[in-house]
Amino acid sequence: MMRTTMVVVLLLLATSRKPSRGIVLARGFRFPSSFSSSSSSSSSPSSSFVITGRGGGHRWPSGSHRRLAPSSATSLNTSDDMISISDAYDGGNGEFSSARMIDDNNDQDECDCDLVVCIKIRPDPFRSTLNEKLFIDYKRKSVRVRYVIENAGDASYADAYAGYSTFVTRKSTPFDPHGWERTSDTSYDDGKLSWTHVHEFPPDNDDGGGVSIGRSRGRTAYFAYFPPYSYERHLGLISRCEDVRGCTVTSLGRSLNGREIDCVSFGNGPRTCWIIHRQHPGETMASFFAEGLLTRLLGIDIDDDNDGGGGIGSGIDVVARDAREMYTFHVVPNVNPDGSALGYLRTNAVGSNLNREWCPSPAPPVVKDDRAREGGIDMYEAPTLERSPEAYHVLREMDRTGVDAFLDVHGDEGLPFVFLAGSQGTSVWGKRLECLHGTFLSSYERCNRDVQCRVSYDPDAPGEGMRNICSNQIAERFNCFSGTLEMPFKECWSDGNGISRGEGDKAGWGPERARRLGASVLEALCYIWPYLRDDGEFWEGLPKEDAYINPSSRY
């Protein structure tokens, strides 16, 4: 019997025109932040699509759709042949280009798949979502689909696609971090990024009497540039932190769309440590880092309701206990809740790149032109409540508490390493901060094999760095240890002895290792604690393995 299947493709692509550090694909276009493909029993293009994650469901209502008849090259022969595209879903930026069945006799070069789906990225500084529904009459138990991003080569620094592998999960929700793995055949060639996936279709169900019921339903597959971290999971983490005795969760202020900027404070130590995450909302590995840090520091487990007292924090280890006695921690798990909820890559609700909003800076050319006509000055004021309340509120609280140690946690598309971009370009950089940087990294490397100290962004000369970048501004403002911790979108090439390029050493970077990286930062913070405000030449007593290494972006 001919059975009808439907392959549903939900594509989330992101772009940004904001300037950034390092090799970033996001200046022009960017490959998916999240992308899903599934077979489904629903045939209505106007129906809602529901993803249920831990802590409740998240409904993406459908919006206006435009229907496109299949091209003449697409051999689809069911009355349901229709492609429905919607951008009313949560996150993403992209548009359907074409889809065609592969004829083994006439498409010899592409006979390794049954269907080719082509997509284009739109040059939009924000995100929208593409929902494609492709109805196919198909006799096989599976269909092998090749997904092609046709204009990947138009992305800024498109060469960073080399060596990248797409994430895929077959879990019922893309927000379960445990089911993600890399595809084995992602390739970038002639400006196109592609990979294949086999969609399995189980036998038709029946009512017990041998009568087929409805359409066959296949197993959903979600694809992602890096596994997503839902706003619901963030709220669940905050809720668990609130249950911990001695932990204070406060709102530093509200975002432009009215979301709370949550800050988790804990510990009673004499040194103040701030760690912030997700300034760039598309860099979801930062949220997994925050989760690992907080679950260890507070002794909770976001995935386990029986964590030793319902989230009361009874599972504290020795290092976490020491860290709480050395430091008073202020952890902001998500500085940019609007961008995260809206699905943006690098900006908040009004398009501000928060990591350029930490002090006034020379105005961009377009702003200079506007202010010249108005008789103003050539300065861009930041942070402001109108454009960047997230940075404004965090910085105001930092001024109140002071800062002795600071980390800003990010993700980098180009470099396949975990690395620390330091404050070398600030006016306060000297032997003291240099040795704190080297000592922190060396200790971190010893307790986590994903950390290395040889590869990073090429350092700026002292006094030549951008002061409006968060970690630079904090170093200048508080004369303290400060850095931007970057994690890769690609497989991680680092190990405890430096750089490793073996396939076995590279495999496995994803949410769980990002969580472990967040948990293990406590050892490094405890190690540098005695030296944070030491005015003497403490470096003379440090072991050689703690020496600062001048990094390079070449590897």
Q: Which two tokens stand for residue 32?
A: 């998916």
| 219 CA to centre of own chain | 25
CA–CA separation, 20 vs 549, rounded Å?
24
Catalytic residue from among 486, 512, 537, 545: 486
- Measure the CA–CA gap between 343 and 12, rounded to whole angstroms: 8
Contact 27, 18 (CB under 8 A): yes
- The answer to whether 325 is a known catalytic residue is no
Q: Calculate helix-pair angle for 318-326, 285-298, nearest 10 degrees.
A: 90
Exposed/middle/buried for residue 213 (C-beta within 10 Å: 0-12, 13-18, 19+) = exposed
Strand partners, 266: 329
CA dist 263 and 335 (Å) reads 9
Which amino acid appears at position 151 of this protein?
N
Structure tokens at 351: 């398009």
Identity of the residue numbered 530:
P
- State how far the Cα of 230 lies from the Cα of 551, in Å rounded to an integer: 34
Q: Taking the CA atoms of the chain, what radius of gyration do you get in angstroms?
A: 25
Task: Strands of 369-463 (E only): list them.
Answer: 379-380, 405-412, 419-421
Task: Give the Cα-Cα-Cα angle 117, 120, 124 (nearest 5 degrees).
Answer: 150
Query: Is residue 186 a contact partner of residue 65, using CB atoms and an 8 Å limit?
Result: no
What is the set of active-site residues?
486
